Amino acid sequence: MNPLLGIGLKVLSSLSFTLMSAGIKLVSAKFPTGELVFFRSAFALVPLLLWLGWRGELIDAVRTNNILGHARRGVIGSTGMFCGFVGLSYLPLPDAISIGYTAPLIVVILAALVLKETVRVYRWTAVAIGFVGVLIMLSPHFKSSMLVNGFAGDSAAIGAIFALVGACCAAGATVEVRRLITTEKTGAVVFYFSMLTTLLGLSTIVLGWNVPTLTDFCILVGVGIMGGLGQILLTQSYRYADASLVAPFEYTTMVWAILIGWFVFGELPVPAVLIGSSIVIGSGLFVIWREHRLGLERRRANAAAPPRAT
């Protein structure tokens, strides 16, 4: 265990994913979403396969006992990626990142409904408060006139809706991963997701793709590599430190998003987004802390339990 190294890897992972999102935003107006998904997933396989080969885990990446589970996770995750990329194309980078913070709150709900986990009043309260923050974040992107005219032509509202659906799908994918890791290796979970998403992105070529310039091609390849590196760094961070210590540093993505949004896109989040995201982050941190406390209680209970007779 090396907590400082684990935290450092998690922060670098957050930076990698934010750079990936910034790259998507840079070229999103030039290419259809399916093409973006293809490049993101296909070139993420490059660092992933090199890493698995270096660790001698390539066989584990293709060995599976639950191909249907991988398919479910792939479809849900791919849908979330499509929606998230659409949201990025319409929203400022910090806004899109902030709405993504909704996912951990939705995971709590799905864990109770799908995984039948026991969720007590503390976490339900945190989720309720977090969704108040979500409403505050979304408020700048919606106008009262939409009640009459609908969403047509309002790019900010469309982007916010897609980003929120993407967060819901990310939460669903997380629940599927929780199911998968009971029987599957980490390499297999990441490999099959990347492969399926690559194929789904490639299938959209029949709808028409655009030929990238050399500069755009380099950005698209960089997007994929950043995504793959982010996944590797994320996985390694949990090898060196407890999840409860590392997980809160996911929210450093907001720092990176604000800096990149400001210097690259000339965008700054409005006060409502900052206030709402702070509430959501606070709720998420409480959920993480509560999960940590419950984990400690379970370990103490198991340690105190008398051994089974054999």
DSSP of 47-67: HHHHHHHHTT-HHHHH--S-H
CA pair distance 42, 203, nearest whole angstrom:
13
* 152 band by pLDDT with thresholds 50, 70 and 90: low
- Predicted pLDDT of residue 308: 56
Torsion of CA 52, 57, 63, 67, to 10 degrees: -40
Q: Report if residue 51 sits inside a domain.
A: yes
DSSP letters spanning 227-240: HHHHHHHHHHHHHH
Residue type at position 99 = I
- Predicted pLDDT of residue 101: 87
CA pair distance 27, 41, nearest whole angstrom:
16
Average pLDDT over residues 97-118: 85
* 296 band by pLDDT with thresholds 50, 70 and 90: low
Q: Report if residue 309 sits inside a domain.
A: no
- Predicted pLDDT of residue 293: 74
The residue range of the domain holding 238 is 3-304
Evaluate if residue 222 carries a pLDDT over 90: yes
Evaluate if residue 20 carries a pLDDT over 80: yes
Q: Report if residue 119 sits inside a domain.
A: yes
Domain count across the chain: 1
Q: Report if residue 186 sits inside a domain.
A: yes
CA pair distance 25, 46, nearest whole angstrom:
22
Task: Output 291 or 30, whichever has higher pLDDT.
Answer: 30
Helix (H, G, I), strand (E, B) or coil at 143: coil
CA pair distance 139, 160, nearest whole angstrom:
10
Q: Report if residue 159 sits inside a domain.
A: yes
Q: pLDDT digits over 202-213, tens only? A: 999 999 999 999
Q: Report if residue 310 sits inside a domain.
A: no
Average pLDDT over residues 165-178: 88
- Predicted pLDDT of residue 147: 46
Instruction: Give the sign of the dihedral formed by CA 216, CA 218, CA 222, CA 224.
Output: positive
Q: Report if residue 242 sits inside a domain.
A: yes
Nearest to 249 by CA among 261, 240, 237, 259: 237
Average pLDDT over residues 211-240: 91
Q: Report if residue 84 sits inside a domain.
A: yes
Range with lowest mean pLDDT among 127-131, 141-145, 154-158: 141-145
CA pair distance 16, 208, nearest whole angstrom:
29
Residue type at position 136 = I
DSSP letters spanning 149-194: H-STT-HHHHHHHHHHHHHHHHHHHHHHHHHHTTTS-HHHHHHHHH
